[in-house]
Amino acid sequence: MVGARPNFMKVGPVWKAIAARGALKQKLVHTGQHYGPKMSEVFFSDLGIPPPDVHLGVGSGTHAEQTAKAMLALEPVFASERPDLISVAGDVNSTLAAALVAVKMEIPLAHVEAGLRSFDRTMPEEINRVLTDRVSDLLLTPSPDADENLLREGTDRSRIFLVGNAMIDSLLQSLDRALATGTLEAMRLRAREYAVCTLHRPVNVDDPRALSRLLSTLIEIGRRLPVVFPVHPRTRRTMEQSGLLAVAEVERGLRLLEPMGYLELLALTSRARLILTDSGGLQEEATALGVPCLTLRESTERPVTITRGTNVLVGTDPARIMKEVERVLAERDCAVRVPELWDGKTGERIAALYEEWLGRKAT
């Protein structure tokens, strides 16, 4: 089950591994929480995922509206299909919606990317993560810290399976194709001589004052090296309404783009000198790619990207951000130890686990 842009890179490897093994029948349900060519459709083609068997067209709305609409749309689908297992990924509203419907209908549930915690309850994703984990039968974790979080919360160890990071499967499977897109050449960029930025978290982009501070910092960075900034629809809306878009558009060092497809963005991030982001997924991808990453948040649910990877949590204070930018630009190499099981084989491990678990359930 997928719903939003972050889901596709986690679901794709699992789908392909199950299909290749041929032992299980699967159907892909897309709630349509994210929609449109650049936020949804392009990911199916970029990742080699077939079109969804069911597309519910939930669309946008408040967190309550999205979750409620997804639940109402999913219930008849689950009732009709009556699956032996529902697999959800990540922490978006559609993930929680599917989890709640599944548990109410007494259908077994597996959560891919379970156990991640930022310990910040003001993040809607944190609520989605905690609640989905509570009702899941199988908790598939990407790193040992996620196992520790679940055990600390009293989760039975028999429900926890350390399988690795499915997003890294997608990255490794797609990197050569991404580099062959010619994205850098088309944008007249040189490898390791530009930064990439993404911003979409409400705390960063909904308040024009907060967004203005970050944009001012990006403009300052852009005077040192080009900053490529694919603008999320939510971010663009605030920029347009507040007049910040007109200010940013005249800055030559800040390249504002429409949202990018997976391969296009991967082509940019894989050769960047620096990534600035509030995205959880990009923190992980930066670690796998060995690219320095500055996370524009006060907390992260992916601490392994700090302890083992390239990530530094810098918050949103301009002085702190610029200090870390200067440090990165002064360093020649970025030390990284890619976490165990981030090896491109997570989808295969999950497919094998599903087969084994369903086989035991059937006997």
Residues serving a catalytic function are: 200
CA separation for the pair 158, 136 (Å, rounded): 12
Question: What is the token pair recorded at 94?
Answer: 């559609």
Contact predicate 85/266, CB 8 Å: no
Angle at 71 between CA 116 and CA 356, to 5 degrees: 55
End-to-end Cα distance, the chain: 26
The CA–CA distances, whole Å, from 98 to 47, 72, 73, 128 equal 23, 10, 10, 11
Handedness of CA 59, 5, 38, 281 (dihedral sign): positive
Contact predicate 120/298, CB 8 Å: yes
Contact predicate 312/295, CB 8 Å: yes
Question: What is the token pair recorded at 268?
Answer: 């940019």
CA separation for the pair 22, 207 (Å, rounded): 49
Strand residues in the chain grouped as ranges (E): 29-30, 54-55, 86-89, 109-112, 138-141, 160-162, 195-198, 227-230, 254-257, 274-277, 293-295, 311-313
Handedness of CA 124, 127, 130, 131 (dihedral sign): negative
**In this structure, what is the dihedral angle of CA atoms 135, 90, 276, 216, given to the nearest 10 degrees?**
-70
Q: How many Cα atoms occupy the beta-carbon half-sphere of 358 within 13 Å?
A: 20
The CA–CA distances, whole Å, from 353 to 13, 28, 89, 164, 356 equal 14, 18, 15, 13, 5
